Amino acid sequence: MKSYRTMCKKTWAVILAIACHLPAAWATNANEIELIPKPVHVEQTSGNFRLSPKSTIGYDAALQGQAEYLQQVLGQSTGWDLKLKKDARKATILLTLNPEKVDKPEGYRLDVTPKGISLTGRDAGGIFYGIQTLLQLFPPQVYSDKRQHGVEWIAPAVTIYDAPNRPWRGMMLDVARYFYDKEFVKKYIDMMAMYKLNKLQFHLIDDSGWRLEIKKYPRLTEVG
């Protein structure tokens, strides 16, 4: 059983390692932008956007969490603490809600130009998934949790519209039979978000035992 668990963990490690290298917008064909999953509409325009330490992130008040998330992801790989601008109408990267412009739940419109980036969503979910697409447009080093040196943080100019055609897009993680540590589970969820999967079936229990400690009910783990 122990060797089987080890094999499973190694298999998942390989899968995650491969997946980390997939979402690079700079595809084998220089004239084609590859994004996973493929958006409903992609139109590449001329030029590139270049991120710099002076870039700012503007956002509607309701999108503070999404703005801070983008700031964190970009900051840990670039080493830059990009300034956040609440309720800004002008910013290098602008996050806004507009249900009239985007008509489907979790939908978004992403406009990248040499002068700046505009991300408009119908709801907060659309903004979050638009951020995932935006990250794919940058060099793959953007996913690093450590500062990367010598990288040109540029993204191709593009107009993208996307919205999911399935409200339930999920994966399962079985921890009832096989143990995964906290960092693995967090990475698993991050990978799901990257590919716009929105439901996690966290298989906690089985007839083999109860794996979740609840202090109010100690016998669940004492007996199981």
Phi/psi for 116 (5° steps) reads: 170, 180
Rounded mean pLDDT, 115-138: 97
Q: Estimate to the nearest angstrom the gap between the alpha carbon of 187 and the chain centroid.
A: 11
Domain boundaries, the chain: 24-162, 168-223
Rounded mean pLDDT, 167-193: 90
Amino acid at 91: A
| Residue 143 to residue 152: CA distance in whole angstroms | 14
Model confidence at 224, in pLDDT bands (50, 70, 90)? low
- Percent of the chain at pLDDT > 70 equals 84
pLDDT(154) > 90: yes
pLDDT(49) > 60: yes
Pairing relationship of beta strands 108-113 and 116-121 according to DSSP bridges = antiparallel
Rounded mean pLDDT, 87-97: 96
Helix (H) or strand (E) holding 199: strand 199-203
How many other β-carbons are positioned within 10 Å of the β-carbon of residue 117?
23
User: Quick one: tokens of 42?
Assistant: 């992609």
What pLDDT, on the 0 to 100 scale, is given for residue 222? 80
Place of tokens 């008509």: 103
Task: Tell me the sheet residues that pair with 41.
Answer: 161
How many other β-carbons are positioned within 10 Å of the β-carbon of residue 174?
13
Handedness of CA 195, 201, 202, 208 (dihedral sign): negative
What pLDDT, on the 0 to 100 scale, is given for residue 110? 98
Rounded mean pLDDT, 146-165: 96
pLDDT(17) > 60: no
pLDDT(5) > 90: no
CATH H-level superfamily of 24-162:
Chitobiase/beta-hexosaminidase domain 2-like (3.30.379.10)
How many other β-carbons are positioned within 10 Å of the β-carbon of residue 138?
25
What pLDDT, on the 0 to 100 scale, is given for residue 32? 73
pLDDT(170) > 80: yes
| Residue 80 to residue 142: CA distance in whole angstroms | 12
- Mean of all residue pLDDT scores within the chain: 87
| Strand, helix or coil for residue 139 | coil
Tell me how far CA of residue 216 lies from CA of 113, 212, 219, in angstroms: 55, 12, 9
| Sheet with 83-86, side-by-side order of all strands | 41-50, 154-162, 108-113, 116-121, 93-97, 56-59, 83-86
22-26, 123-127, 147-151: lowest mean pLDDT where? 22-26
pTM of the model: 0.79
DSSP H helix total and E strand total for the chain: 5, 11
Model confidence at 1, in pLDDT bands (50, 70, 90)? very low
| Residue 48 to residue 155: CA distance in whole angstroms | 6
